[in-house]
Amino acid sequence: MATFVLIPGMCHGAWCFDDLAASLRGAGHHVLALTLTGVAERAHLLPGGVNLDTHITDVLAAVDHDAAAGDELVLVGHSYGGMVIAGVADRIPDRVDALVFLDAVVPHDGESCWDLVNDEERQWYLEVDASGFGVPPLPFFDPRATSHPLATVLQPLRLRADLNRFRRRVFVYARGWPGESPLQRSYDRVRDDPAWITYELDGKHNLMRDCPEDLVRILRETAES
CATH number at residue 138: 3.40.50.1820
The DSSP string of 142-153 is -TT---EETHHH
Q: Residue 169 forms beta bridges with which residues?
A: 99
What per-residue confidence (pLDDT) applies to 68? 86
What per-residue confidence (pLDDT) applies to 112? 98
pLDDT in tens, the chain (225 residues): 899 999 999 999 999 999 999 999 999 999 999 999 999 788 787 667 899 999 999 999 999 999 888 889 999 999 999 999 999 999 999 999 999 999 999 999 999 999 999 999 999 999 999 999 999 999 999 999 999 999 999 999 999 998 999 999 999 999 999 999 999 999 999 999 999 999 999 999 999 999 999 999 999 999 987
In the residue annotation, 79 being an active-site residue is answered as yes
Domain that holds residue 206: 3-224
Of residues 79, 147, 181, 186, which has the active-site annotation?
79
Q: Residue 122 forms beta bridges with which residues?
A: none
* pTM attached to this predicted model: 0.96
By the 8 A CB rule, do 80 and 113 touch?
A: yes
What per-residue confidence (pLDDT) applies to 47? 66
Rounded Cα distance between 141 and 155, Å, is 24
Q: What is the tally of structural domains in the chain?
A: 1
By the 8 A CB rule, do 156 and 111 touch?
A: yes
Rounded Cα distance between 194 and 187, Å, is 13
